[in-house]
Amino acid sequence: MSAVHERERAGGVRYLTGAEGPPTGRPRVLLAPITVTPSKPLTPSHLKGLLWTDVMYRASAGLTDVTYRYSPTTYHLTEQTLGFWEYLDRTEGDADYSALSEEQIGELYVAHRAEGRRADVTALRPYAEAVEQHGWVHPAGARVLELWAAHYRRLGMHDPGLRAHQPPALGLEEAIGRLASRGLCLDLRAHGSPVFLDATRYGLPLRQIVDPHGRPNYLACVLRELLPLAPGFDETVLLCDRELEADYLLLQRVLSTCGATVRRVTLGRVPLDGHIRSARHGGWQGCTTGALLEQAGAEYDDPVLRLGMRLYFIAVLGAGQQQSFRHEVLRQSLARAARLLSAGNAPDPAPIPEVLARHRGDHLHVNPYRLTAGLLTRHRPPPAQELLKAVYL
């Protein structure tokens, strides 16, 4: 197992570059969910992934030492984010974003993607340098992260450092070099071509990670973050949505080849009116996390919101994507949560760690669906308040 490595950046910011914390004798788990870029509101699909991860983190922490790695800093360098920031400065000028809602900023993002114009590499270079060298975040992105942090607090979710400066341990060239040393990289930049992740010997197709101009994509950023981290843990859990399953299958293979034990959890997105849409196309009005909290908060207090949201997005919707988001079914889950919380304290006959361990299967992390669906089982005593407080509230 690798040693603990930490670095200091300007301003005294501490960030993780290897396995975290002193040894405790317990298994060590790294949770690495897909990171949402701060350019749009949190939709039902986003909220589903975040709540699954939160319950997995809090439940697994009762049995293992868990590190929850979720760093927006790492992914600011993608063209998706930098291109949006360049668009804002080009079209909005020196605008004040401090009072805008995430929905208003999301509308600007929809307009940016509808423009269909990809920013020139020269235009994006100053943004990339500001992110890499100074930890800079565009005011619009900073405002979205501020609003998301408030949603996390309202929902009782662990904040893994949404607004913290958490750069990846490896530079892009270091990551490419590490991949090349294991025969997992095809670097054709000297010939004016891209860099490819190469796991063809495992029957997987080539996948571009850096374009001919040196711009990394999302997968390149993931590799910068996880290549030095994952091998230091007993288990690494990758959580992704179904649209990125092929990339995450490739990522799982690469990290495993580099010495990590990897589990992959794939979640379906949440259809809206029967259709799965990317947030870049809009259509999320009235269904954003902020809107849902405002609507439900008029009737229920925060403990009910926290438990009810988890019952709906984890136990009711499950891991698939067959069911469209339905306000009335969410309300039913909130009402069920209110009943569970008002039922009084019925202690489980087994200790909490034993209860959690029932839902691990052959892996180290706790399965959020198995644990949460058990709360809805009919004709069983209400869950222990100790369990609810530890995992859901």
Would strands 28-33 and 235-241 be described as parallel, antiparallel, or unpaired? parallel
Quote the mean pLDDT of the chain: 90
- Please give the pLDDT value at position 22: 57
Q: What's the rounded mean pLDDT across residues 199-221?
A: 95
Judge contact between 366 and 314, C-beta under 8 A: no
Residues 141 and 58: their CA atoms lie apart, in Å, by 27
Residue (of 52, 104, 115) closest to 309 by Cα position = 52
The encoded tokens of residue 210 equal: 């850096």
In the chain the beta strands, taken as DSSP E runs, fall at 6-9, 13-16, 28-33, 65-68, 185-187, 195-197, 207-210, 235-241, 262-267
pTM for this entry: 0.91
| Domain boundaries of the chain, sorted by first residue | 24-391
Three-state DSSP class for 13?
strand
Distance CA(262)–CA(370), nearest Å, equals 20
Top-level CATH class of 24-391? alpha beta
Summarised one tens digit per residue, pLDDT across range 291-337 is 999 999 999 999 999 999 999 999 999 999 999 999 999 999 999 99
Q: Which residues of 163-197 are buried (b: 16+ CB within 10 A; e: fewer)?
A: eebbbbbbebeebbebbeeeebbbbeeeeeebbbb
Alpha helices in 77-217 (DSSP H): 79-92, 102-115, 121-134, 139-155, 172-181
Q: Is a pLDDT exceeding 90 seen at residue 16?
A: no
240 in helix, strand or coil? Answer: strand
